[in-house]
Amino acid sequence: MALLTKAVRGTGDVLPANSYKNRFIESTMLEIAGNFGFKEIRTPVFEHTELFNRSVGETTDVVQKEMYTFDDNGGRSITLKPEGTAGAVRAFLEHGLYNEPMPQKYSYVTPCYRYEKPQAGRLREFHQFGVECFGADAPSADAEVIALAKNIFDFFGIDDLHLEINSIGCPECRKNYQNALKAYFSEKKGELCETCNGRLDRNPMRILDCKSPICSVIAADAPKILDYICDDCAAHFAKVQKYLDVMGIEYTVNPSIVRGLDYYTRTVFEFVTGSIGAQSTVCGGGRYDGLVEELGGPKTAACGFAVGLERFMMLLEARNIELPAENPVDLYIASMSDDANLVAAKLASEVRETGVACLFDTVGRSLKAQMKYANKTGVLFTVVLGSDEIEKGVAKVKCMADGTETEIELEDFANNFIKISIDKAMESLTPDDGAVNFLGGLN
């Protein structure tokens, strides 16, 4: 049988065998962010194109080469979001959240889209976990979002990530730096790639982020931003480092970090690893104090970061870090006839209302095939219903782990089953166990 079509290049399916891992990672990240006071925000997957032109920057590769942009039926230019910050800022402004007590702290999990060459850890449809903090201009806010990222990595047991930080200054002190870069790279113009020659006049800082081996070598000897930042920016960066020191967060100052988006100011940072090949940056972020004002809002300090979830999953796999297994189905109610299956459907409904995961036959299998299916799916308990069980009002619950059976009354079946399952769970506990963790539905 020939397939009509396959998934679009640069996209991927997350199948049921693995989707629980994604769900666990996403919910854990949101929960840890909640411990820092960040609340979830959800923004549309597409926005008006001018939002990204203004926020991300018209001279960036993202805007020039990578955005999925199209005209809708009304002739409006629409873009699938290439990153999460711009949409969060737009929502912050549109809903007047700048009138709320500051700081406003948001977290999100969102799909993003960039047209670039698909490779390991870099897809055209990818997903980000991100946080945005609005209204906090103190260096402690920079350190706090860095600490949040580190808390996430520590929770998952990732110990080979290294934090690199830099300051790219404010727009004023960056003017002198741009002039110095332009003078330096102009002398190397004949050696630069075509893209970087285009950047030379418009935004020479982008050359520092070029992945071309030749441009990278040239950029290595370019002037360093830390030699050009103003006193205020230097003092801010020094204070960020003091906060990281007292928080016990190790870091390296890397004056080459500029990040790939134009909205960054002052602090920029990356968590990098050597475990997943060329795509070494797992988390990137920093401060973007001018972005809210650039998009039409009041002057508002802001900072945040984003983690690429596909790249994060690659890192877990490379480090052989196991995630908690998916909770199994608690109960399968097998039936020996059509009439018995009607009773099974009724009992399954009652059990599910108590929060217990339960299955019954919806295919018309024989009893032998039902039990084989139940065993393959890893259910914890089974019950077989026939005419005798229904007539007597009792059935036997079988624990699939040890084969033991316990008689159960069909009257008030759901509560009777819960009691039996908890008793069985208590039997399996050792003296050191702190809680019953046997039934997935009762966790």
Domains of the chain listed by start with CATH number: 16-170+229-318 (3.30.930.10), 331-428 (3.40.50.800)
Sign of CA dihedral 223, 116, 156, 239: positive
pLDDT confidence of residue 439: 45
pLDDT of residue 60: 65
Query: Parallel, antiparallel, or unpaired for β 125-134 and 104-113?
Result: antiparallel
Q: How far apart are the first and last CA of the chain?
A: 43
pLDDT tens, position by position, 362-372: 999 999 999 99
User: Residue 207: what residue type?
Assistant: I
Q: How far apart are CA 205 and CA 184, in angstroms?
A: 11
- pLDDT tens, 181-196? 889 989 888 888 988 8
- The pLDDT assigned to 278 comes to 57
Q: In what order do the strands lie in the sheet with 46-48?
A: 46-48, 77-80, 68-71
pTM: 0.88
Task: Give the Cα separation of 423 and 178 in Å (integer).
Answer: 71
User: Largest alpha-carbon pair distance within the chain?
Assistant: 94
Task: Supply the pLDDT for residue 191.
Answer: 87
CA 118 from centre of chain: 19
Distance, in Å, from the CA atom of 53 to the CA atom of 90, rounded to the nearest integer, reads 13
pLDDT at position 207, please? Answer: 86
pLDDT attached to residue 276: 66
CB–CB of 88/47 below 8 Å?
A: no
How buried is 362 (Cβ within 10 angstroms: 0-12 exposed, 13-18 middle, 19+ buried)?
A: exposed
Token pair of 138 as six digits:
């103190």
Residue 128 has which token pair? 């980000």
Sign of CA dihedral 335, 439, 328, 429: negative
pLDDT grade, residue 425 (50/70/90)? confident
Q: Residue range 390-412: average pLDDT?
A: 94
Residue 116, beta-bridge partner list: none
Q: Is the peptide bond before 103 cis (omega within 30 degrees of 0)?
A: yes
Which pair of tokens denotes residue 184?
A: 């330096």
